[in-house]
Amino acid sequence: MVDENEFFRQATLRISSSLKSETALQRSMAYLEQYMPVSGMFFALYDPQLNVTRMLSFVWPSNISHPNKTLVVPKEYWGWMKNQWSNLEKIKITNDISKEEEPIRRIFAPLWPNDTSHITMALRLDEMRLGILGIFVEGKNRYNESHAHLISLLHEPFAIAISNILQHQEILRLKDILADDNSYLRKELMAMTGKTIIGADFGLRGVMEMVSQVAPLNSPVLLLGETGVGKEVIANAIHFSSKRKDNSYIRVNCGAIPENLIDSELFGHEKGAFTGAISSKRGRFERANTGTIFLDEVGELPPAAQVRLLRVIQQREIERVGGAETLPVDVRIISATHQNLEEMVKSGTFREDLFYRLNVFPITIPPLRYRADDIPALVSHFLEHKSRELGIDRLPVISQETMEDLQSYPWPGNVRELENFVERALIQGRVENTLDKLSFRDAAAPGTTMAHSKASPLDDNLPSMDEAIASHIRMALAKTRGKIEGDDGAARLLKIHPSTLRGRMRKLGIPYGRNRTMNQIPNP
């Protein structure tokens, strides 16, 4: 006499004993052999929309050739099959295939020898799909109602098992899609940034030599240089030349994230960690695990975030905001800034220990005014790229005199300014129908001309970057009468976040809030 409760418990333990469905079937079959004859087992799925039956998982004897994983089943059999298993726990015993009605003979005969016995059980899935468990053994008339009854006790465990198989297959499918999307996005990123770095053989030769030295390693890299020199392009080159090139590459503009959100963005947060945290969220470092994270404008990080970043570098682990669990991360850090971090360390606005951790392999990218030989190649590249974007079929010709003017201009905004300058010239030339004789003089920024903008690369009268930024901020504050936030505030005028503007003002010594009086705001 079989103890059905014990049978159910032991069989269920084996059915759910492994994430590998074949392993679970083998263990289940080994247990069932104590109670009935069995040579093989399988899970199958019939999809009437595709008219196919798919073998999801099976254990097969070596002396019987197993069928193809995908089998075509005539569509007219769907109604018959649903009628046969209208009660989804109904068991079907087939002891002699030759004596069965036509549909069963048509389905079974091509798959199994005539001298085999079968028990099949429908598994509850949904309205449109039929899951099937099958067991079989060599020889006719090997199964009886007592065997079918024992199998019927296991309907729920087997139904859960086949559902898990389907979910696992869906996860694998989505994983493949994600991998394909990532590969596509990497190619798109390379297409946008360019596989060839303009100036690699001239003004950036020394930089590219350093890139080739450090790219294969996991050492932190600090990119230094003025705004617009192409620090992001160099960071991309380091990542895509490294062993991590097929893994995640996460870019973060530290100056664009509000101070109260920086920890959550970088390190993630747990559900309920703060108002509005309705679910857990992975941070940028988790997303960059086994890959590279590029921290642009790292000098903008607030003190609290600097402490947490230091811990990531030292201990290779993070804690989400509001969480107690430490999460290990394997991330290569590339950071960049246009600021003088050594001066910030002296003034106490940047941690000294963090500076030395980031400054393992510094690379200084020279400004464009020191790379005049690169300008012709850059102009050619931007003309081709921007012409394609603007739908211009024929590339303009640049005269030698115009090119000399471009090379003699100091380009305080560096490569980014040159790119915008070329685009502006193309737009004006297109509007005025003068692309054949493109003149960059007409594209100069308001208040300047190429003729009177020429300056020596070592012109001592040029203001420093911080002085220029401070002057620009003061002009915006004067226009808004000291107001920072809102539609009529300086942040909106400068197109940056109010928190970022306050941070810049604090570092540049520009008073605001209670520390500001109206006589401190200069007139425009």
pLDDT tens profile 303-350: 988 998 998 999 999 888 888 888 899 999 999 999 999 999 999 999
Separation CA 69–CA 201 (nearest Å): 56
Fold category of 370-443 in CATH: Helicase, Ruva Protein; domain 3 (1.10.8)
Average pLDDT over residues 125-145: 83
Domains 4-168 and 194-364 share a fold: no
What are the tens digits of pLDDT across the range 72-119? 766 666 666 666 655 545 788 888 888 877 766 766 666 777 788 999
Which has the higher per-residue pLDDT, 125 or 33? 33
Under the banding of pLDDT at 50, 70 and 90, the label for residue 65 is confident
pLDDT-derived band at 494, boundaries 50, 70, 90 = confident
Q: Look at residue 120 and tell me whether its pLDDT is greater than 80.
A: yes
Alpha-carbon gap, residue 251 to 264, rounded angstroms = 15
**Torsion (CA) 443, 445, 446, 452 in degrees, nearest 10:** -90
Average pLDDT across the chain, whole number: 81
* C-beta of residue 308 within 8 angstroms of C-beta of residue 263: yes
CATH class of 4-168: alpha beta
Q: State residue 516's pLDDT score.
A: 53
Could you tell me the pLDDT band of residue 457, with boundaries at 50, 70 and 90? very low
Q: How far is Cα 20 from Cα 165, in angstroms, rounded to an integer?
A: 9
Domain boundaries along the sequence of the chain: 4-168, 194-364, 370-443, 465-520
Q: What is the pLDDT of residues 234-265, one digit of tens each?
A: 999 999 899 998 888 999 999 888 888 888 88
- Tell me phi and psi for residue 140, to 5 degrees: -90, 155
Confidence category of residue 524, pLDDT binned at 50, 70, 90: very low
pTM over 0.75: no
Range 194-364 has CATH code 3.40.50.300: yes
Q: What is the C-alpha to C-alpha distance for residues 524 and 38, in angstroms, rounded to an integer?
A: 92
Q: Which of 136, 187, 126, 125 is nearest to 158 (CA)?
A: 125
pLDDT at 219: 94
pLDDT band at 45 (very low <50, low <70, confident <90, very high): confident
- Name which of 50-59, 305-314, 378-387 the model is least confident about: 50-59
